Structure 1
Amino acid sequence: MLACLRSLRELRDPLAITLPVLMLLPLPLVLRCQEAYCGFVVLLMAVYWCTEVIPLAITAILPVLLFPMFGIMTSKEVCKQYMKDTNMLFLGGLMVAVAVETCNLHKRIALRALLLVGVRPALLMMGFMGVTAFLSMWISNTATTAMMVPIAQAVLDQLNTTGTQPGDPEQGHGQTARGQELEEKDSTVEGIQPALISPVMQTQDADVEMKVSAVPHSDAQREQQRLRKMLSLAVCYSASIGGTATLTGTGPNLVLKGQFSQIFPDNGDVINFASWFGFSFPNMLIMLTCCWLWLHLLFLGVNFGRLRMDKSPREQAAYGIIQGEYSKLGLMSFAEKLVLGLFILLITLWFTREPGFVRGWGSIFNWEGKKFVTDATVVMFITFLMFIMPSHRPRLKGWAWNRTVEAEPGIDSRERKDHRSGRLLEWKEVQRKLPWNVVLLLGGGFALAKGCEVSGLSLWLGSHLLPLQNLPPWVIAALLCLLIAIFTECTSNVATATLFLPILASMAVLIKLNPLYVMIPGTLSTSFAFMLPVATPPNAIVFSYGHLRVTDMVKAGFVLNLIGVVSATVAINTWGRAMFHLDTFPAWANISSSL
């Protein structure tokens, strides 16, 4: 019996790869039409993306193989989809994020913000959520969570230490030990690649140090356990929520940008960094506030009196942990100042290129009715500057880094070694940290969307959703958001957006509804993966620390999913309706004859 089970386990992957092919093969063999051929490819990729039996990026290259074989698109036409303007925007944004991480600017921002809010449980959760959401707007949610969770654990460890008082001689030793523990945990997560996809991350139980007993025996232990669960969920949830606020914050936003521009080429750049931020940032603040309130009610109750500042010995000691970590960073280095300046310049150029209500600087480059400059142009300009600007204050000898230069405050020997040529960005560092697999995943999504359009599959699927036109538009948006929020719990958020957005666009065109009315809230809903540890990397990271059970995440995440669906529906029906003129069917969306 055991031998049979072992044999089946060895055959699990081969069966998971071949069975979907055999089960779906009758579709193209029997129907023999372009829609059926494309449907076979879409369903096969959907199964592989959900099961992750092969890497997501490898599944994304199937259109290059299958579309030419079925006569849907030529190989040249398919390959063009893998490096579009949106992919360059994604690459540039991530390279800027690598520069921010390399100089430790993100850690300085995080610790400084935590020093401002204090360490009372409610305020501590508010501080961690605000910082995590802000950082997740600019760097990947995985990297943000990997940095914030060890800080949260170290602070909670100090809060839970009741035997050490501020005047005791052991206190300094205790704080040093906590600082060392924080450094060790930072090193364990340093190798996590920033990614915008949701791979199934396995929990390594042997490496998980249980900080509290599985069955608490006292009120103090139960309170400690509640605080750990609350802060762990707060960090991973705010990382997912924060990424929705900016166009480069998470993969689905870029999928929307790329597919929307591809399906509706004459849209006039409706979706850009400024317009997306104007819509999504208020929604992010609402969701973050609701998330804080829900977690407070779930773990701390209705006693909001805990918001007042306190100076108890335990909390002073925990505050000292944050102060100690901030002191280790030293004074702000030349590289940090330069990266911060370039980052502010990038945001300014993004916002002022096409602000919408006034004429932006991008109009200078509009010739013959074409817009030659996009958000990708801006971020590549900043990235280029980072590759040529020095990481140390230049001397009279030139821009090259002098190996005998004295150590600047906040720069250790390891960092100086990483900056051998003296630039803000090093290509080796970019190669090591950049999630190249997501580039293929985005490209595969664009190729899949183009194949659905060319084959007529999008039109066929959209026509089967025509009965929805009898429902009020807000009901349509709410139902689709709920469907996508459920689906994204089981598969990558990028893959979910890739599969659903072309269908939503076709349906909207057929029922004469502004496509943005369903595409924008649908895109937001792909980031509402709050219920399962495997739904998204931030969930998996906090789950691996051993303080959470699956039931804890499901109970908290179910309500938060409903909050997200309601928030996205309300947003698109209020300020979203005014911003994108959703009451009218735009001329650029009248493409039903070409679908």
Structure 2
Amino acid sequence: MWREILAHRNYLIVLLTPFLFLPLPVLLPYKEAQCGYTIILMALFWCTEALPLAVTALLPVLLFPLMGIMDSTTVCMEYLKDTNMLFIGGLLVAIAVEHWDLHKRIALRVLLLIGVRPGLLLMGFMAVTAFLSMWISNTATTAMMVPIAQAVLEQLHRSEVERLQAKEAVAKKGTVNGGFELQETAHQQVNGHVVTVEKEKVSREQEQLEKKHLTFCKGMSLSVCYAASIGGIATLTGTTPNLVMKGQMDDLFPDNDNVVNFASWFSFAFPTMVLLLFLSWVWLLLMFLGVDFRKNFGCGTNDSEKAGSQMAYRIIKNQHQALGPMKFSEITVLVLFVILVLLWFTREPGFMPGWASAAFTKDGKSYVTDATVVIFISMLLFLIPSEVPRCGFRSSTPPGGQIRVTPPLLDWPTVNQKMPWNIVILLGGGFALAKGSEASGLSKWLGSKLTPLETIPHPAIAFVLCLLVAVFTECTSNVATTTLFLPILASMAQAICLNPLYVMLPCTLSASLAFMLPVATPPNAIVFSYGQLRVIDMVKAGCMLNLLGVLTITLAINTWGFPLFDLHNFPNWANGTAGQC
């Protein structure tokens, strides 16, 4: 019976949970309690994944109108806001980069520059993965980088095995070292077990080699998935929680003067990412490769180790050469990508007027956002041909033959196959939830209950909240985590007259610190599927990384975060649902 219950647990959760918490809106017929009922249901469904995440995100469309919190038209408008378009446009560019293998070319080129010594190889894979994850999804980045890492490691291992096999062959002949052949013969006459001892020594070396290879594979696999999660925090479009935070800010504080944009986010999060990536590299280096820096960085290695490194280097070089020279499509996508980043940075750089305020401002308000820029670049991907157009539209098609039309850089079937539409709905559900919390008065009520936190030092508040979010995100989706926490954190900050960005920003970054469990995030699941890792390996490595991540983010928000976002002062745009400060 217990097995039957476990097998049908999702049905039971979906059917029983609404009735279990039904007394809340029935006994307390207030909008705050009714909105709280909706949040509880969504939180439990998101944590247990009893329903698909996107389906759970549609609950506000059903419950808010029935409870009189918001009308259906207002709720539905929350599901496709400016932030959703920014997300869609960013993914369109990322899909084009993946479609033409531009990301693979960049990765292999950087690895060729860094080299294949164990320590440098670990650093190279982490740096490349983090950089790619800044622009394309961490899942796609991990799926591409892990096979490359496995191929390089297998070649290094094969070279070591061949060295030991050669040594074993010499041992079988009874001659370990040609220079001491006479001495070895004397040893055999005195003691017939010398060759046997040498064979046992080679056998022990083989066992140590296999163990070393497995340990290095574990470290490399974890380095790739961790770097993919860390790299996503650097840019506004790098991972979905960042966009959730941007959308929540614009929804809860519509007059925030666009304080969070691509340039301001990058200025804060990129140094944080670099510092955390370095600390992660040091931790994984010590944990899986030890403190033998001579071998880790190739100082004084023997000929066999050099030969193994050369073979691994040749594998990367062959994969890079297999891509051939850069095609017109790759060059065009790269140029459009660079233009996109430059337009994002110069739209509203903060320290000087941007091009948007100079050319597209009316009545003191800029009508251009980051979403406008990325949609413009995305549309060009559907217009520019993937091959060099023939001069004068001349074609080599024979008379009467079918005319070949050059396809564009991106087509809709490719987009439809790779676009995660469920995340678009999930984002919209989070915005609807935040809007409902504000409209029902739940945000104001929560803020009034959290005023005792005013007596606690602000750095301590940031640290505890980041740690809470980092632990919570191990068990549920990082998008769901930020969606649930950010409106509450915003209300708390307003109640204690604290700049909302001081808690919302670090907690958003902490939602990406999913390092301890295979189910915490797709990159973890991908590397775990290769079979070399155990759960305990990920827990041991991820526990320390979670702590390092929380400490790094807390340091960032309390140092360079203050002047970037003027966190010393409570902003006028935050005076709203929680009263005046």
* TM-score (normalizing by structure 2): 0.88
Query: What residue number does 1:190 align with?
Result: none
Shift of 1:398: 3.5
In the aligned structure 1, how far is the partner of 2:569 from the partner of 2:205? 58
- What's 1:487 paired with? 472
The alignment status of 1:498 with 2:488, answered yes or no, reads no
SS, match of residue 78 in structure 2:
helix
Q: Runs of 5+ in structure 2 lacking a partner?
A: 167-203, 399-403
**Alignment match, 1:121:** 118
Instruction: Pick one of 345, 351, 359 that aligns with 1:351.
Output: 345
Partner of 1:531: 516
Report how far residue 511 of structure 1 moved: 0.6
Looking at structure 1, the residues matched to 9 and 353 of structure 2 have their Cα atoms a distance apart, in angstroms, of 58
Q: How far did residue 8 of structure 1 move?
A: 2.8
Deviation of 1:133 (Å): 0.1
Q: Which residue of 2 aligns with 1:416?
A: none
The answer for the alignment partner of 1:369 in structure 2 is 364
Q: 1:230 to 1:113 in 2, by over 3 A?
A: same
Given candidates 137, 143, 147, the residue that maps to 1:146 is 143
Question: Between the two proteins, what is the percent identity of the paired residues?
Answer: 60
Aligned to 1:329: 323
- 1:546 is paired with a residue of what secondary structure? coil
How far apart are the structure 1 equivalents of 2:142 and 2:71?
41
Describe the SS at the equivalent of 1:381. Answer: helix
Q: 1:8-407 maps to which residues of 2 (within 5 A)? A: 8-161=5-158, 162-164=160-162, 218-305=207-294, 306-308=296-298, 312-363=306-357, 364-398=359-393
d(CA) in 1 for partners of 2:148, 2:396:
34
Matched residue type, 1:319: Y
Q: How much is the aligned-residue C-alpha RMSD, in angstroms?
A: 1.9
Q: Which letter maps to 1:527?
A: S
Alpha-carbon distance between aligned partners in 2 of 1:257 and 1:403, rounded to the nearest angstrom: 51
Give the 3-state SS of the residue equivalent to 2:542 in structure 1.
Answer: helix
Q: CA deviation at 1:362?
A: 0.8
CA distance in structure 1 between the aligned counterparts of 2:259 and 2:513, rounded to whole angstroms: 24
- How has the CA–CA distance of structure 1 residues 403 and 267 changed in structure 2, closer, same or farther, with 3 Å as cutoff? farther
State the AA in 2 paired with 1:386: L
Q: Is the 8 A contact 2:95 2:418 kept in 1?
A: yes
The letter for the 2-side match of 1:361 is W
Instruction: Measure the CA separation in 1 of the matches of 2:376 and 2:293.
Output: 47
Shift of 1:30: 1.1
Distance 1:285 1:42, change over 3 A: same
Cα deviation for residue 160 of structure 1 reads: 0.6
**Residues 81-140 of structure 1: CA distance to partner in whole angstroms, max 9, x if unpaired?**
000000000000000000000110000000111111111111100000000000000000
For residue 184 of structure 1, what is the aligned residue in structure 2? none
The worse-fitting range, judged by mean Cα deviation, of 300-309 and 83-92 is: 300-309
Structure 1 residues 244-253 or 297-306, which shifts more?
A: 297-306
Contact 2:25 2:37 in 1 (8 A): yes
How far apart are the structure 2 equivalents of 1:592 and 1:339? 45
Asked if the contact 1:216–1:222 (Cα under 8 Å) also holds between the matched residues in 2, the reply is no
Partners of 1:293 and 1:571 in 2: how far apart?
Answer: 19
Deviation at 1:217? 7.3
Of stretches 14-23 and 276-285 in structure 1, the one that deviates more from structure 2 is 14-23
Q: Distance in 2 between matches of 1:7 and 1:534?
A: 23
Count of residues in correspondence between the two structures? 529
Shift of 1:464: 2.2
CA gap of 1:497–1:593, structure 2 versus 1, over 3 A, is closer
Corresponding residue SS for 2:391: coil
Shift of 1:308: 3.7
Q: Distance between the aligned counterparts of 2:13 and 2:131, measured in 1?
A: 40
The question of 1:424 aligning with 2:419 is answered no
Partner Cα distance (2:320, 2:15) in 1: 53
CA contact (8 A) 1:103 1:335 kept: yes
Structure showing greater radius of gyration is 2
Measured after TM superposition, the shift of residue 10 of structure 1 is 4.6
